[in-house]
Amino acid sequence: MKDADKYYMQMALDLAAKAMGRTSPNPMVGAVVVRGGEVVGRGYHARAGTPHAEVHALREAGNSARGATLYVTLEPCCHHGRTGPCTEAVIEAGISRVVLAMSDPNPLVAGKGVQRLREAGLQVETGVLEEASRKLNEVFIKYITTRLPFVVLKTAMSLDGKIATAGGESQWITGPYSREYVHHLRDRYDAILVGVGTVLADNPSLTARLPSGGGRDPVRVILDSRARTPQNAKVVTQASRAPTIIVTTPGAPPERVRALQEAGAEIIEVPREDAGVNLALLLRELGRREITGVLVEGGARINGSFVKANLVDKVYWFMAPKIIGGAEAPGPVGGSGFSRLNDALQVQDITIYRFGEDICLEGYAK
């Protein structure tokens, strides 16, 4: 792998990341056109339905694209979707060499784009900074291959593993820098999921409030098997471009369900399982609605349900330098737990961050 190829691919990855949280259900893609050692075109996919990264870069390059090398973070599409096939645009522009980070896991592409380019006589190389590209699009990869959303579990606790005092006080365990980063996470993922207990206790907004403004509110998903969410709760009444979905079960009183619908909430009914909703069926329904990533900010009970059902893909585990104590103070993961250590959820590929005095562990479920 040439150093120059890595350099320009990193440039393309940085361009792709500019659209973090804005391209769903599409991937983030960046492209760079290089001719004679000079960058003559740059582009990235800004949002679904708009031109792809390759098109933007080729337009900027113009006639300089002839005989040039195109660096792109994902295999160019070769089918008609919301936009035309990028392979044809690359061929028509006169590009002679294409360097890719990874193939497109979308079954509609999956190597067909590379095949089309090679059939047209272009030199194609793949696998340059592939791992970085896969991490950038981890949400898209999970969604496009399973039609299920990527599930991220976020929790905040004290050093001794408490998410609240024995009396129920929980705001705020972590400091302002951690809380600011959580709003960036909300801006990144399509949906945020909490239980009705959180709504009743805290009346949260569940919006993305970035310091610079311009945050994208996630779809609010409330697990509420008995439709107990108040009609005047902020998640129902606040002005937001994102809808609120309240997930009930067949046992929810019809009059409460109707009242929430009249107040503006959308209702999804799923079968009951144990003490709550069937999470696997809910995720399938959210995937059907093109919700590609879900940030779970639940309490101990909901966290425990996701962990026990093996539905977690990634975790953000915030730890504050506080010791709360108390045998009755809750921990971050409730439920029945695992009786054997070998059955416990293993977290791997760990990265540690520092936010002020807090520590955050980012990792992936094994």
Q: How confident is the model at residue 83 (pLDDT cuts 50, 70, 90)?
A: low
pLDDT tens for each residue of 207-227:
988 887 778 999 999 999 999
267-280: average pLDDT: 87
Residue 288, annotated as binding a ligand: no
The helix-helix angle for 112-119 and 86-93 (nearest 10°) equals 20
136, containing H or E segment: helix 130-136
pLDDT at residue 141 is higher than 90: yes
Residue ranges of domains in the chain: 3-138, 147-365
Compute the distance between CA of residue 133 and CA of residue 12 in angstroms, rounded to an integer.
10
CATH 3.30.450.20 fits 147-365, yes or no: no
Q: Which CA distances in Å does 269 have to 144, 190, 246?
A: 25, 20, 8
Task: Determine if the pTM surpasses 0.75.
Answer: yes
- 154, pLDDT greater than 70: yes
Between vectors from CA 287 to CA 188 and to CA 335, what angle results, nearest 5°?
A: 80
Tell whether residue 172 is among the known ligand binding residues. yes
Residue 297, annotated ligand binder? yes
54 included as an active-site residue = yes
CATH superfamily of 3-138: Cytidine Deaminase, domain 2 (3.40.140.10)
Give residue 1's pLDDT band: very low, low, confident or very high (50, 70, 90).
low
pLDDT digits (tens, 9 = 90+) for 166-199: 887 777 889 999 999 999 999 999 999 999 988 9
Q: Do the domains 147-365 and 3-138 match in fold?
A: no
**Do 258 and 228 meet the contact criterion of CB atoms below 8 Å apart?**
no
For helices 86-93 and 53-61, give the axis angle rounded to 10 degrees. 20
- Catalytic annotation, pick one of 54, 75, 130, 290: 54
**Does 170 carry a binding-site annotation?**
yes
